[in-house]
Structure 1
């Protein structure tokens, strides 16, 4: 564990995890996650199969008129997923500016304004919703990072209007941002004019075709899902927050995929027929049960192996960790057992998630289990999450039970080895 390669790996991974722009992207997506979850739940309720079984749809139609009650979920969608790119443009710029200790609100507003300037117009002088949403994510990210850097340079170069003392802080801040905002929006305006002259498509279509669509196609594959599972857990093993480190990379790829599934599901398509298999809910619900490493299965394995030794250290850690693990919070077991830098646990901690990724992919690809059509809070307990994320299918619950059983079987030999190793150390 102390050789130069591992030391260099930890150093590089730590630097990546703390890199200012990646942190801003990660925090930008985290900030809007409540809106994404609410939008997902709104669509899920509108198309939830059990509503029809219990004749609730007919009852709601009788009160509000045929289908009118579903306008609530549609309106929620319009304020969340439909403007995802715009929200991200503001949120990432805000977080990046705050990391430089410059005015985050002004940076966010400038980024959002520039984003709207670049969105293609409809024939009736409206904004094209196709590019306000997830299809515009990569433009939003690039725009937020570039414009915030320019805003920071202009602010720190004193190219600003200084108000005298006694002027309210909010007024002074707005005047400070006035000249930088003017310069930035003029530059964006000229850029848009050049795009109109020399290109037949918008910058959104160019970025989508060149970068976003190929990445989404690559991300929606089994090898990509296995790589994500592997990297997440190898980072955790070295004490680095794998979920946060790779989150800034996978969110822009996987969010558009789940949005496409959601849109098609809301239009009446079955969860079996939506196109995308690998999404973030796919990983959260079927692979990361109990948290990274499927540690809920590890706790079950501990209770099986050391069931007769009531005060065994492993069992004590498992008892303390179990309540949090039910809600996918697993820091107590990761650092308490520990899993971090524990050679005995390295193999199962990586092997289990990769194996479950393969099982889950095959189950969805062959049509045994519906694909994911909802985003849930990451703290949603297993079994409930499997039911909801597949649009109300008990097959999703069945897949989670199978995955947990497989994970327990894989963990048991290594728990037994860990128990023996601990016993030998205590006796020695």
Structure 2
């Protein structure tokens, strides 16, 4: 077993480290993390506009009149509905920091590149001219925004390495000199992306966004929203954690853009009074799979707290319960430990899969409403999180999941706890024996004296 684990770790760790250290995936991950507070705040306004409480709805309608929900839609429109703008800025800023080039120039170039590729809408009223539909700045434009941002910064970096800059005399103020030094790199970006836009106008897709949406984003979101793919992702995450690699970070850098675009689709549907389209999304993952964090360990912390015989396990349970309520469970993963623990790794990898199946079939069968697109923080405690994204039935599902996770962990916990308890007893006996030997030796010395 140890030999197998060693071989597996030797092969897996370099791959995981390369993924985690990839500058593009890292930039995407960091960008979404930076954008998350804005998305959370914006999506909460959708919740305020659609609370499933008749008394609240009646009060708001009587106070603000019909169509009162519109008072809550603007914060969502400038956040969730325009999420690609913020993601583009975040990616460009992170890559510019990595390459040590001008951040403002990189951000402006990335935004320009994305907007050049974004299709415009011509209004029927000629006086209104043309505009950009919000949908093109939201989930539908997410992948073209990420690609455009990365490619634009690469062009800026290429121009910088080639020395394609206008150098002004030293007597010119620094801010003026800096703006001129960015002139040629930004020109290169706009020219290249404009040529790309023109090229797509001669195709059946008409624009780059349609091409990427139909050939890349739609297949990936369909795959990411499927049950088999979600199970595979959970297994990969669990296996990475098994070797002490932060599986959530690595999986998140790849899957978060897909899941967040699915969340945005749900939020848009709720805001427009339409049927919610997606079961699997970021809220499904955060609130109905990771019940208590990676490994769905909320049930395990209850076992540690109330049923442990081992002093070590009891101490870990007391230390972990408060963080666990907020889905932070590293104290257990590394404190028991679960990492490289052949007993507890089995339920740690298996339980998220069971949580996935429970939540998926509960929602697909109609027992529990699909998540409403409210992008609550991942640290929201279970039960509360279930209620916020799927109503009282979501809260009940969380309770059942916690009980099921405790049941899955129980036989493995009992085995690990007994081993730890027996080891502690053996150590205590050895310590007591050592103390007795010391006391007898001291008595013998006194008698001889």
Question: Shared topology, TM-score over 0.5?
Answer: yes
Match of 2:304 in 1: 302
- Measure the CA separation in 2 of the matches of 1:327 and 1:268: 31
Match of 2:408 in 1: 410
2:306 matches 1:291: no
**SS, match of residue 184 in structure 1:** helix
C-alpha displacement of 1:335: 1.3
Match of 1:312 in 2: 311
Judging changes above 3 Å, is the alpha-carbon distance between structure 1 residues 128 and 425 closer, same or farther for their aligned structure 2 residues?
same
Match of 2:283 in 1: 281
Which protein shows a greater Rg? 2
- Measure the CA separation in 2 of the matches of 1:380 and 1:39: 16
Match of 2:243 in 1: 238
List aligned pairs for 1:255-274, cutoff 5 A.
255-269=260-274, 273-274=275-276
Judging changes above 3 Å, is the alpha-carbon distance between structure 1 residues 406 and 167 closer, same or farther for their aligned structure 2 residues?
farther
- Measure the CA separation in 2 of the matches of 1:275 and 1:100: 40
Match of 1:379 in 2: 379
Judging changes above 3 Å, is the alpha-carbon distance between structure 1 residues 168 and 64 closer, same or farther for their aligned structure 2 residues?
farther
Judging changes above 3 Å, is the alpha-carbon distance between structure 1 residues 325 and 173 closer, same or farther for their aligned structure 2 residues?
farther
- Measure the CA separation in 2 of the matches of 1:155 and 1:205: 31
Once the two structures are superposed, what CA deviation does each residue of 1:117-158 show, in whole Å capped at 9, x if it has no partner?
111111131113222111111111111111111111111222
Once the two structures are superposed, what CA deviation does each residue of 1:356-409 show, in whole Å capped at 9, x if it has no partner?
11111110010000001121111111111000011xx21101110111101001
Match of 1:174 in 2: 179
- Measure the CA separation in 1 of the matches of 2:421 and 2:173: 67
Q: Does the Cα contact within 8 Å between 2:312 and 2:420 map onto a contact in 1?
A: no
Judging changes above 3 Å, is the alpha-carbon distance between structure 1 residues 166 and 328 closer, same or farther for their aligned structure 2 residues?
farther
RMSD over equivalenced CA pairs, Å: 1.9
Q: Does the Cα contact within 8 Å between 2:9 and 2:243 map onto a contact in 1?
A: no
Once the two structures are superposed, what CA deviation does each residue of 1:221-253 show, in whole Å capped at 9, x if it has no partner?
111111121111211121111111111211221
**SS, match of residue 368 in structure 1:** coil
The structure 2 residue matched to 1:396, chosen from 391, 394, 410, is 394
Deviates more, 1:190-199 or 1:293-302: 190-199
- Measure the CA separation in 1 of the matches of 2:122 and 2:42: 28
Match of 1:205 in 2: 210
Q: Does the Cα contact within 8 Å between 2:287 and 2:386 map onto a contact in 1?
A: yes
- Measure the CA separation in 2 of the matches of 1:81 and 1:375: 9
Match of 1:325 in 2: 324
List aligned pairs for 1:46-85, cutoff 5 A.
46-50=49-53, 53-54=54-55, 56-68=56-68, 70-85=69-84
Once the two structures are superposed, what CA deviation does each residue of 1:81-107 show, in whole Å capped at 9, x if it has no partner?
221222222211211121122222321
List aligned pairs for 1:181-220, cutoff 5 A.
181-220=186-225
**SS, match of residue 343 in structure 1:** coil
- Measure the CA separation in 2 of the matches of 1:21 and 1:71: 38
- TM-score normalised by length of structure 2: 0.88
- Measure the CA separation in 2 of the matches of 1:169 and 1:220: 50
Q: Does the Cα contact within 8 Å between 1:39 and 1:81 map onto a contact in 2?
A: yes
- Measure the CA separation in 2 of the matches of 1:36 and 1:224: 25
- Measure the CA separation in 2 of the matches of 1:354 and 1:170: 55
C-alpha displacement of 1:67: 2.2
Judging changes above 3 Å, is the alpha-carbon distance between structure 1 residues 162 and 363 closer, same or farther for their aligned structure 2 residues?
same
Match of 1:101 in 2: 100
- TM-score normalised by length of structure 1: 0.92
Q: Does the Cα contact within 8 Å between 2:155 and 2:188 map onto a contact in 1?
A: no
C-alpha displacement of 1:164: 5.1
Q: Does the Cα contact within 8 Å between 1:86 and 1:116 map onto a contact in 2?
A: no
- Measure the CA separation in 1 of the matches of 2:392 and 2:8: 46
Judging changes above 3 Å, is the alpha-carbon distance between structure 1 residues 153 and 213 closer, same or farther for their aligned structure 2 residues?
same
C-alpha displacement of 1:198: 3.8
- Measure the CA separation in 1 of the matches of 2:257 and 2:187: 29
**SS, match of residue 375 in structure 2:** coil
Q: Does the Cα contact within 8 Å between 1:115 and 1:140 map onto a contact in 2?
A: yes
- Measure the CA separation in 2 of the matches of 1:395 and 1:345: 30
Q: What is the aligned residue count?
A: 416
Deviates more, 1:184-193 or 1:401-410: 184-193
Structure 2, gaps ≥5 residues long:
124-129, 428-449
Q: Does the Cα contact within 8 Å between 1:84 and 1:133 map onto a contact in 2?
A: yes
C-alpha displacement of 1:59: 3.4
Match of 1:347 in 2: 346
